Structure 1
């Protein structure tokens, strides 16, 4: 990587180098285990001119998202998060039967199904063929396409401008930030709203959430860098909400620059927090790499000592972030016998790089392991409740991030 993809600067500084790993969602079938896997450098850098943190665009969105293993509806808490957002946005923006809502990267219809239930016209724009098909089967109108300025213009011409455009957990996934943002502007009405949810770089750094760095995330935003990115497509940031999702996210509310007005007090406050954390100077990133190395040492020490005691450790979940962690730490089936996941699409497959088998969740109760390593640590509260039954045989949960934590769960 030689130039910043947002501002074009060559002033890129290293934040953390996680080595080379396969793409995090490239789960392997059994007949692929003896084949070579491609691995790509996973080296996060930050532009010292616009302060956008970014990875080189070594893989294309087409490689990742044409057939995708992540279905949003398998997370109970995420579906509830989407329901609450739709309820709040409907009231905030006074949406009704005459309104039009577009969601970009709408996945399996986890959010727009709540819009459909309210009788509001909507459309999902989803690049993955398999999850888009699931959305249509659930009654959510869905276009299979990647968003760019031409797609945005085509949707607007056919369906009219959108009163609300939603882009949840996609703004980090596109290498062409400017073109994607221009696509958002093409979709939204001249007096409409755009809502973008994305992980907050501030909490990623503060909470040591390095496993959320993977190839399908091309960039990592502060509010300051997100505002600059939105402006590149003619949108202005007017409000921000801080959210607990994905370990700490921001919901950015933007409007066409011509009607935006002044940003809210919340924008000013979060910008001040970012500045105080040093995220507009290299000092704010200086210790991150050392803290990442400690997570690796602590987790490996725990797994090796458990194996030497003859105790069994298995995983829960097979999220993309888990594959960054497993590959960076070099954790294979000798230390983690298998992991389980609620998504049937992943059953019988193996994690990329580390080849850990993925089984149905029911296997936990059959094998009664001593420890369950929770890979989607961001769902901690949800999973402590879901996995309370491991208490029946004295099992315990292990959370690796932000630091190693072993949790007793009750009935």
Structure 2
């Protein structure tokens, strides 16, 4: 079966990495569902050699992946909430936002960010397609529209008398650009929402850091695209937007925050030119850059399996911590089951009592974890290892990405 590029429409022929067939990484299972067949899709990434968008073909529709009981709640991570709070403080000051302004967040999840906007008395609106998280935001008093975002919804919201009829002063879209199958339509919707002098802030994992850090576990079906600054610039320019500024962030193993404005309103900052030059030096538009990614993923998989097998032979007890989507990609690619990892602990109540997709490893609470005699904790959300070390200082930890690393107890 052939696939076309979701940005430029060219035929996708160049494979980057193949992680086998896997179930959706956020499709956590109940005990009853373990008795039923489990749907899997190919997890094979391509790069378009015309526009250089790295992408996963849309084997499953967004509605199949982002369901009403979607289990990811942003507020579970203290560090992520702190990141959101710092962003709001910065944006309010720089953009001089106040009671007459309007902030719209796309993929607002459980209100993790808009709560800080609301606390400052600034009008705000969330757009979130998953029912469970949208309800959590509403419980915080945040007005939330339960829809997938695109130009059709943007036109409804900006119509006369609609909630965003005057346009938004700030549109925020954190970790969602990679999640949309029609990326051109999504970007056009943002352009529609923005006031003539408005700004949009988009955060997304940086393709360059993904490759450098061997972060193959961040590949899963909810992530349709893997983005460079240059490709995002191309998509933005197509709909009349330009990148005014870019910031490099440590979040999610290395992300970018781009600030978008309407064309002709401002000149791009020097940081945009500098990062585009870094990407050019890194040869993200050369096939050779991607050729060893599969081998590096296989090496990380083999090292993890070797560790788990050796510890089991030595009579050691290893449990997992953090039932993250990236962890499911890793465990399913490596073929890890309950014999090597009997359980994974997670703070999210939405995941506790359920089972990881594919591996069927049970998810337990941190309270259940501390009752166990654990020799090692395998931290699946490796990007949060420093936060987890502070939460669980008595446990020795191990991470598998970019390579196997042990962290002694503090």
The TM-score bracket by the shorter chain reads over 0.9
Q: In the alignment, is residue 32 of structure 1 matched against residue 33 of structure 2?
A: yes
CA apart distance, 1:11: 4.9
Task: After the TM superposition, list the runs of 4 or more consecutive aligned residues in structure 1 that deviate by more than 4 angstroms.
Answer: none
Question: Normalising by the residue count of structure 2, what TM-score does the alignment of the two structures yield?
Answer: 0.97
Q: CA deviation at 1:233?
A: 2.4
Please name the residue that 1:211 is paired with.
Answer: 217
What is aligned with 1:64? 65
Distance of 2:339 and 2:20 partners within structure 1: 21
Given the alignment of the two structures, is residue 10 of structure 1 paired with residue 16 of structure 2, yes or no? no
Structure 1: gaps spanning 5 or more residues: 391-395
1:311-333, CA deviations, whole angstroms, 9 ceiling, x for partnerless residues?
Answer: 11100010111100010000000
Query: 2:148 maps to which residue?
Result: 146
Counterpart in the other structure of 1:335: 340
CA 1:341–1:11 in structure 2 vs 1: closer, same or farther (change >3 Å)?
A: closer
- Cα deviations by residue, 1:258-280 (Å, 9 ceiling, x for unpaired): 42x33211111111111111111
Q: Residues 54-203 of structure 1 correspond to what in structure 2 (within 5 A)?
A: 54-67=55-68, 68-157=70-159, 158-159=162-163, 160-203=166-209
Instruction: Tell me which residue corresponds to 1:45.
Output: 46
| Secondary structure at 1:33 match in 2 | helix
Match of 2:173, SS?
strand
**SS at structure 2 position matched to 1:345:** coil
Give the Cα separation in 2 of the matches to 1:12 and 1:361.
45
CA–CA distance in 2 between the matches of 1:332 and 1:79? 32
- TM-superposed deviation, 1:389: 2.7
Indicate yes or no: 2:293 matched with 1:288. yes
Cross-structure match for 2:383: 378
Partner of 2:351: 346
Alpha-carbon shift at residue 224 of structure 1 (Å): 0.4
Q: Is this contact kept in 2: 1:205–1:288, CA < 8 A?
A: yes
Aligned residues: 404
Instruction: Trace 1:358-369 onto structure 2 (pairs within 5 A).
Output: 358-369=363-374
Distance between the aligned counterparts of 1:242 and 1:103, measured in 2? 20
SS in structure 2 of the partner of residue 352 of structure 1: coil
Counterpart among 306, 309, 329 of residue 301 in structure 1? 306
* 1:393 equivalent in structure 2: none
Deviates more, 1:350-359 or 1:276-285: 276-285
Deviation at 1:387, TM superposition (A): 1.2
Deviations 1:290-312 (A, max 9, x none): 11110000000000011111111
Q: Which range moved further: 182-191 or 246-255? A: 182-191
The separation in 2 between residues aligned to 1:142 and 1:11, in whole angstroms, is 37
2:21 maps to 20
CA RMSD between the two structures: 1.0
Shift of 1:34: 1.5
What is the SS of the residue equivalent to 2:299? helix
2:228 is the counterpart of 1:222 = yes
Q: Does 1:399 align with 2:409?
A: no
Question: CA contact under 8 A between 2:12 and 2:46: conserved in structure 1?
Answer: no
How far the C-alpha of 1:48 sits from its partner, in A, is 1.0
Q: Deviations over 1:237-268 (max 9, x none)?
A: 11100000000000010111242x33211111
Q: What are the superposed Cα offsets for residues 27-54 of structure 1, whole Å, 9 maximum, x if unpaired? A: 0000111111011000011111111000
Give the corresponding residue for 2:255: 249
**How far off is 1:215 after superposition?**
0.2
Query: Is the 1:104–1:126 contact (alpha carbons within 8 Å) kept by the matching residues of 2?
Result: yes
Contact 1:11 1:49 in 2 (8 A): no
**Matches of 1:12 and 1:107 in 2, distance apart?**
35
Residue 408 of structure 1 pairs with residue 408 of structure 2:
yes
CA distance in 1, matches of 2:342, 2:387: 24
Decide which moves more: 10-19 or 206-215.
Answer: 10-19
Structure 2 unaligned spans of 5+: none
